[in-house]
């Protein structure tokens, strides 16, 4: 019998190689499934964010202001306590007996414009004697005014030219016909201006204008009006080119783009085209805007327009501008409103208090801009350096600090990453009093085009888009300078056929004066580069 102390217990046998391989495969499968699950969860969060954002765009409020309850979180406890006290007092008042609402006074009626012609209607009493038998004595009168109108009235201009003949040599002479925008055409300058303004400023398609004019007893075929618009667009192209040169002569220019639908020939379908918009800043007294129709969103289009421009270009973060900025002649400045919008959406859709605090700091930057709006560039720069720069530095530090606490896929993190990666361009306005804080000026210039495309739906051809861009450039530039677009175009159509090329700048909207008004020398613009 063997001693138990010397008995050896055999070790556990290793698993077969087949089981080891199976275990490794299961672990790899588990790791892969966990990775796929994490990816799908991140994707679901991103899609939920997009759905929430689209729902807000479609059904939510267009205002991007923070709610009062959200702003209260950003203040100290004393302000919160005060808000709670006010709420308690409000609840107590609601519990008290209701008092009848205070009757407000009737709104004061606005006086009718004094420049309108007056047609007087006199009304007198038929009874000349009182019931007591005494005759009435006139002591004054009461005057009340009503505003009335008649539909657009058409009239015919008759050009009567005397004809003379020489009895000796049988020569016939007649006064020349005044030069017209459309040779031997029916439309006078006023009608051409009316059709153009109604189409491009009032957003009335030609078929609607046809119906409106027919109610006044004049039938104008939409095909005829289309031909008029086409001819005027071609004749006004040199004026739009001069307007482009004026815009690019400034040291700071806005730029943006917006899509329009372009009819694809022979297919009966539309494709996406783009209208690029270039505008001077609101800091200059003479303002202008240029529309450029293009068939795509390629970066070659702004490069073509801005090839001779040197200065600061205020844009969004579209990649088409990056090549221009890398060439060195153009300095890029980004729109602070875009950064704010991303942070606001993160707060609105995700309830992020980090984003809410950042939005509140950006609001303080805009408060400084409201005060600096009417200042000279040098004074504006000093104000920004003294009051806006400390706020911008605090915002930058806040974003850097809070970004470390957020995951990469977080909605707030993506909004913060946009601001941090473009911080130098977003705050470039702090170092230059001529540069605005955002790109809202050119976005406001796009609004008439956005309203118009809801009415005319699409552009018929590339040539039609280019002609429409010319019209929009002149009409919107006239409005920016406080002119009536109809009066401006009517005068341009009267003077342009006989105007010499060297005098073309006199008809630019920022230089235009109605006929008969002396043109004063243009004031020197301190934002124009010498030469």
Q: Is residue 118 part of a domain?
A: no
Q: Is residue 474 part of a domain?
A: yes
Burial class (CB in 10 A: 0-12, 13-18, 19+), 112: exposed
Report the domain count for the chain.
2
For residues 434 and 352, membership in a common domain is answered with yes
> According to the 3-state scheme, what is the secondary structure of 287-312?
CCEEEEEECCCCCHHHHHHCCCCCEE
* Contact status, residue 271 vs residue 281, Cβ threshold 8 Å: no
For residues 373 and 490, membership in a common domain is answered with no
Domain range for 487 is 234-333+441-507
- CA–centroid distance for 531 within its chain: 31
For residues 373 and 243, membership in a common domain is answered with no
Model-level pTM? Answer: 0.75
For residues 414 and 272, membership in a common domain is answered with no
Strand-pair partners of 280: 253
Examine the fold and report which residue of 389, 404, 438 is the final residue of a domain before the chain moves on: 438
366 Cβ neighbours under 8 A, 6+ residues apart:
437
DSSP 250: B
Return the beta strands (E) in 208-310 as ranges. Answer: 252-264, 269-280, 289-294
For residues 400 and 483, membership in a common domain is answered with no
For residues 344 and 433, membership in a common domain is answered with yes
For residues 381 and 501, membership in a common domain is answered with no
Q: Is residue 36 part of a domain?
A: no
CA distance 58 to 44: 21
Examine the fold and report which residue of 420, 438, 456 is the final residue of a domain before the chain moves on: 438
Q: Is residue 211 part of a domain?
A: no
Q: Which of 280, 286, 282 is nearest to 252 (CA)?
A: 280
Query: What helix, strand, coil percent values describe the chain, rounded to 5?
Result: 50, 10, 40
For residues 447 and 327, membership in a common domain is answered with yes
Q: Is residue 527 part of a domain?
A: no
* Contact status, residue 273 vs residue 296, Cβ threshold 8 Å: yes
For residues 280 and 412, membership in a common domain is answered with no
531 residues of the chain, pLDDT tens digit each: 445 445 555 555 666 666 777 888 888 888 888 888 878 877 787 777 777 767 766 666 655 666 544 444 444 443 444 444 555 555 555 555 555 555 555 556 778 888 888 889 888 888 888 888 888 888 888 888 888 888 778 889 888 888 888 888 888 888 888 888 888 889 999 999 999 999 999 999 999 999 999 998 899 999 999 999 999 999 999 999 999 999 999 999 999 999 999 988 777 788 999 999 999 999 999 999 999 999 998 888 998 999 889 999 999 888 888 888 777 789 999 999 999 999 998 888 788 899 999 999 999 999 999 999 989 999 999 999 999 999 999 999 999 999 998 888 788 899 999 999 999 999 999 999 999 999 999 999 999 888 888 888 888 889 999 999 999 999 999 999 999 999 999 999 999 998 888 889 999 999 998 775 554 444 334 333 433
Q: Is residue 501 part of a domain?
A: yes
For residues 325 and 454, membership in a common domain is answered with yes
Calculate Rg over the CA atoms of the chain.
Answer: 35
For residues 258 and 406, membership in a common domain is answered with no
CA distance 214 to 222: 11
Q: Is residue 292 part of a domain?
A: yes
For residues 311 and 340, membership in a common domain is answered with no
Q: Is residue 385 part of a domain?
A: yes
Examine the fold and report which residue of 438, 464, 485 is the final residue of a domain before the chain moves on: 438
């Amino acid at each position: 019998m063997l001693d138990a102390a010397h008995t050896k217990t055999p070790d556990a046998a290793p698993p077969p190689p087949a089981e080891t391989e199976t275990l490794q495969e299961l672990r790899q499968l588990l790791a892969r499934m966990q990775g796929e699950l994490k990816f799908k969860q991140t994707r679901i969060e991103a899609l939920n964010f997009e759905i929430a954002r689209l729902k807000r765009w479609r059904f939510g409020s267009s205002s991007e202001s923070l709610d009062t309850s959200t702003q209260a979180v950003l203040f100290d406890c004393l302000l919160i306590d005060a808000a709670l006290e006010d709420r308690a007092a409000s609840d107590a008042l609601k519990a008290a007996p209701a008092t009848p609402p205070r009757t407000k006074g009737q709104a004061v009626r606005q006086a009718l414009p004094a420049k309108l012609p007056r047609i007087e209607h006199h009304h007198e009493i038929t009874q000349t004697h009182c019931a007591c038998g005494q005759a009435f004595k006139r002591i004054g009168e009461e005057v009340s005014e009503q505003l009335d109108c008649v539909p657009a009235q058409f009239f015919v201009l008759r050009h009567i030219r005397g004809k003379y003949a020489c009895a000796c040599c049988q020569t016939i002479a007649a006064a020349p016909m005044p030069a017209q925008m459309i040779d031997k055409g029916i439309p006078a300058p006023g009608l051409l201006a009316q059709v153009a303004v109604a189409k491009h400023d009032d957003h009335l398609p030609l078929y609607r204008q046809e119906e409106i004019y027919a109610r006044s007893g004049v039938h104008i075929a939409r095909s005829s009006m289309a031909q008029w618009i086409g001819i005027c667009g071609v004749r006004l192209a040199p004026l739009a080119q001069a307007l482009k040169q004026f815009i690019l002569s400034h040291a700071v220019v806005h730029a943006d783009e917006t899509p329009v639908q372009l009819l694809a020939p022979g297919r009966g379908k539309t494709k996406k085209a783009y209208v690029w918009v270039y505008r001077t800043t609101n800091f200059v007294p003479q303002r202008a805007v240029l529309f450029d129709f293009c068939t795509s969103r390629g970066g070659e289009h702004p490069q073509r327009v801005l090839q001779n421009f040197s200065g600061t270009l205020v844009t969004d973060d579209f990649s088409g501008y990056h090549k221009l900025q890398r060439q060195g002649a153009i300095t890029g400045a980004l729109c602070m409103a875009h950064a704010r919008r991303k942070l606001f959406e993160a707060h609105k859709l995700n309830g992020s208090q980090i984003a809410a605090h950042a939005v509140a700091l950006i609001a303080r930057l805009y408060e400084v801009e409201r005060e600096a709006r009417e200042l000279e560039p040098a004074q504006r720069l000093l104000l920004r350096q003294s009051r806006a720069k400390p706020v911008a530095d605090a915002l930058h530090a806040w974003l850097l600090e809070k970004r470390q606490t957020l995951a990469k896929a977080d909605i707030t993190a993506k909004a913060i990453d946009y601001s941090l990666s473009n911080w130098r361009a977003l705050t470039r306005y702090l170092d230059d009093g001529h540069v605005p804080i955002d790109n809202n000026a050119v976005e406001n210039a796009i609004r008439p085009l956005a309203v118009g495309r809801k009415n005319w739906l699409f552009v018929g051809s590339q040539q039609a888009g280019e002609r429409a861009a010319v019209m929009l450039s002149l009409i919107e530039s006239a409005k920016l300078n406080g002119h009536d677009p109809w009066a401006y175009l009517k005068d341009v159509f009267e003077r342009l056929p006989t105007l010499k090329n060297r005098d073309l700048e006199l008809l630019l909207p920022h230089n235009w004066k109605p006929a008969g008004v002396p043109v004063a020398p243009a004031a020197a613009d301190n934002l124009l580069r010498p030469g």
